[in-house]
Amino acid sequence: MSVRQRVMGLNGDEAVAWAVKQCDVDFVSAYPITPQTIIVEKFSEFVANGEVETEFVPVESEHSALSACIGAAALGARAFTATAANGLALMWEIVYIASSLRLPIVMAVVNRALSGPINIHCDHSDSMGCRDASWIQIYTENAQEAYDTVIQAFRIGEHSDVQLPVMVTLDGFLISHTLQNVKILPDEVVKDFVGVRKPVEVEIPGRGRIPLILDPENPLTFGPLDLYDYYFEHKVQQHEAIEKARPVIKQINEEYYKISGRKYGDGFVETYGLEDAETAIIVLGSTAGTVRYVAKELRRKGYKVGMLRLRTFRPFPYRELVEALRHVKAVGVMDRSGAYGAYGGPVYIETKAAFYDEDEKPKILNYIYGLGGRDTPPTMIRKAYEELLEVSRTGKIEKKMKFLGVR
């Protein structure tokens, strides 16, 4: 049963800061970068006002921010940071180290185009570049979901079966800087939901089971040289951990629903109108709101269209996606990142792979859209649906990859 909540006018960045404030985080380190800066600015106000007991460490770069979080998380602390675009690129080396050391750091990524040319507006090229870094990746649609997902992320990453970092993304400016009504749970309810981080234990010959943290009384080595004799096995363990995250993500989505009254599909995908749909669009992030609006409009006119919003990109929900779309005749996959030299965008390629072994599958088109913050109005989505309806009628695709809205 959900609890009484207060409604606040917050932008997406502020909503993330409020979630971190309520999650009893021990350590935050960050470096400002547009359009993420508001998150750590707002959180620093909570620290300065004595509203949290968090150690807040401003550093000289994003590389250092995530490095500091690794040190804190290795000591057993609950750690958080935030970044965007070129800041995430500067973290590149450390992103892989965080997951390799199995540290459940939560990082908000405010999606922004990677330079160059210099651009501060939204696309997904930054987080998509990290899609194989062994981080769980969750894409949010609005400020409310950004708040809810950060809270869930600590539970997911710290679960004993997972022990991996979690990336929560929100579209730059479209979510990060737009004022929205956000329902905020009571502090004590969130604190009880996330609990206290409990490091897993490991078996050490001659010493028994000890917590997997840096401790002078029980010395361990984090990040040792790991050559061909063990490296492969450790990478397989990361693969197994992210696969074990699948039921955990679903379980925590349901548990969160019980306290908040909000859940996001099954935790992996959220659908609209797919029961009898002949065509559908797959989309990530804030554009889902526009796609849903157009789909509702077209359904009122008698067109059998639907949509599927991917919430979790890593682990990729290939089973859920196939089950939801196997009966559809034509699917358009919207990618807000480029496909330079590839067969299509990242979401398109994953979708094609998911359907490869299926006997029953739709025709699948790829729409690259919104790069560098290019607007994606309803008229553009209607055009995509019209093309998909024609493909569903004729069964023919003239061009598999299209650039939606380019001059």
Q: What is the CA radius of gyration of the chain?
A: 21
Read out DSSP for 40-80?
HHHHHHHHHTTS---EEEE-SSHHHHHHHHHHHHHTT--EE
Say how far apart CA 24 and CA 26 lie, in whole Å: 6
pLDDT over 90 (residue 371): yes
Model-level pTM?
0.97
Break the chain into its structural domains and give their ranges.
6-199+241-260, 269-404
3-state secondary structure of 252: helix
Higher-scoring residue by pLDDT: 220, 322: 322
pLDDT over 90 (residue 1): no
Query: pLDDT value at position 231?
Result: 96
**How confident is the model over 318-325, as a mean pLDDT?**
98
Give backbone dihedrals phi and psi of 130, rounded to 5 degrees, phi first. -105, 15
- Of residues 143, 141, 140, the one with CA closest to residue 180: 143
Residue 363's pLDDT band, with cuts at 50, 70 and 90, is very high
Task: Report the percent of the chain where pLDDT is more than 70.
Answer: 100
Token pair for 227 = 């050559």
Task: Report the percent of the chain where pLDDT is more than 90.
Answer: 96
Q: Do domains 6-199+241-260 and 269-404 have the same CATH topology?
A: yes
pLDDT over 90 (residue 2): no
Residues 6+ apart with CB under 8 A from 374: 405, 406
pLDDT over 90 (residue 100): yes
Query: pLDDT value at position 13?
Result: 98
pLDDT per residue over 326-338, tens digit each?
999 999 999 999 9
**How confident is the model over 94-117, as a mean pLDDT?**
97
| Contact indicator for 321, 274 with CB cutoff of 8 Å | no
Q: Side by side, which strands form the sheet with 27-30? A: 55-58, 27-30, 79-83, 106-111, 166-171, 136-139, 312-314
Q: Which helix (H) or strand (E) covers residue 389, if one does?
A: helix 378-394
- Of residues 399, 401, 392, the one with CA closest to residue 279: 392
Query: pLDDT value at position 338?
Result: 92
Tell which CATH architecture fits domain 269-404. 3-Layer(aba) Sandwich (3.40)
Topology (CATH level 3) of domain 6-199+241-260: Rossmann fold (3.40.50)
pLDDT per residue over 171-215, tens digit each?
999 999 999 999 999 999 999 999 999 999 999 888 899 999 999
